[in-house]
Chains A and B, each alone.
Chain A
Amino acid sequence: MPERSGNVHMFKRNEALLLLGVLVVAALVYGLARLTAPELADGARVRIQVDGETPVDLDPSLYAARGEPYTIIRNVDDKERRNVIQITKQGVRMAEANCLDHSCERMGILRPGAGAIVCLPHKLIVSWVPAPGSAPEELDVVLQ
């Protein structure tokens, strides 16, 4: 039976400082993300971007009123990629996806200003963007 060395310590000052450092950096990144996030006034749009292509901006009030989901079906390498996006008054969520891991479906409701819903296997991102005209530098993106 090998002897115990006892020279592998568990948790000391450097580890505590490391954990504190991670918390500080995480707080800084969070603060920076919040400061640089665009203001989402009334009329914010739901942006759906697939595989780096031109994004589609949807008026959530129209879809919430209709109660109909927004469905994206793409055929890539003879395989169907399907994502069903539900837009309600509370926010937007991924109602259904035929990707392998379904993690996008578990992300819940995305409210304005709260990050993005990502379907990595299908390379799809759902996010909130400011209303058209509220951020002049965004107009060119919409017009493309």
Chain B
Amino acid sequence: MNNRRLRAGKSTAHSVALMGMMTALAFVLSWIESMFPPILAAAPGIKLGLANVVVLMMLYIGGPMRAAAVSLVRVLMVGLVFASPSAMLFSLAGGALSLAMMVLAKRLGRFSPVGVSMIGGVFHNVGQIAVAMLVLSTTALVGYLPVLMVAGAVTGLATGAAATGVLRHFKFSKEGYRA
């Protein structure tokens, strides 16, 4: 295979194919995750975040915009196929804040993909709680924040480790991914 064609964006057709494949992978991982029982029933919202492995990989391989596109399409597909519209709203909020903070963390250059993923995990849950409190007009959910923050960091560590295992097979220069 010609490595030059592996660079995201070099070929439009390849870029579209790559993003389509990543979106499908993220969707399947979300579906698999939906079949697991809740990790901690007393604190709703704690999930493994398997789809974040793909978003994180896309962030490093294709950049923030492509990662955002994959994340957005994945959330919309999950919301339409096997989740509720309200769940889709919370996922969008959490996903947007998570990705924004991951982009910032990556640009700082002080964290590995594991650290970036941990930050993403924490802020995903923070975003969901914030939107839930706005929608329900209550501060009663603040009590769940400590558990969700720690859970986000731990699950982010796991998903970051998984993504790093794949990213190690890609070449990265100081400027970023290169074919």
Contacts and interface: CB of A to CB of B under 8 A. Distances in A.
Interface of A: 2-12, 14-15, 18-19, 22-23, 25-27, 29-30, 33, 37, 49, 51-52, 99-101, 103-104, 106-108, 114-116, 118, 120-121, 123, 125, 127
A27 B41 contact: no
Given A10-B112, A101-B84, 18 more contacts: A8-B113, A14-B112, A18-B115, A19-B118, A19-B153, A19-B157, A22-B153, A26-B147, A29-B142, A108-B41, A108-B42, A114-B143, A115-B144, A116-B140, A120-B86, A120-B90, A121-B86, A123-B136
A123 to B, nearest CB: 6
Interface string B160-179: 01001001111110000000
B12 interface: no
Nearest to B131: A120
Q: Is the interface of B mostly helix, strand, loop or mixed?
A: helix
Contacts of B86: 120-121
Contacts of B41: 103, 106-108
B44 A118 contact: yes
Contacts of B164: 8, 10
A29 B171 CA distance: 41
B116 to A, nearest CB: 9
Contact of A25 (B83, B114, B149, B169): B149
Given A14-B110, A127-B140, A30 B146 contact: yes
Given A8-B167, A15-B114, A106-B41, A26 B138 contact: no
Given A2-B169, A19-B157, A22-B150, A116 B143 contact: yes
B81 interface: no
B144 A2 contact: no
17 contacts: A15-B111, A15-B118, A18-B111, A19-B153, A33-B143, A49-B136, A52-B137, A101-B87, A103-B38, A103-B41, A106-B38, A106-B44, A108-B41, A114-B143, A118-B44, A118-B132, A120-B44
Range of interface residues on B (Cβ < 8 Å): 35 or more
Interface string B1-33: 001001000000000000000000000000000
B136 A118 contact: yes
B104 interface: no
Contact of B161 (A10, A14, A49): A10
Contacts of A2: 3, 6, 169-171
Contacts of B42: 107-108
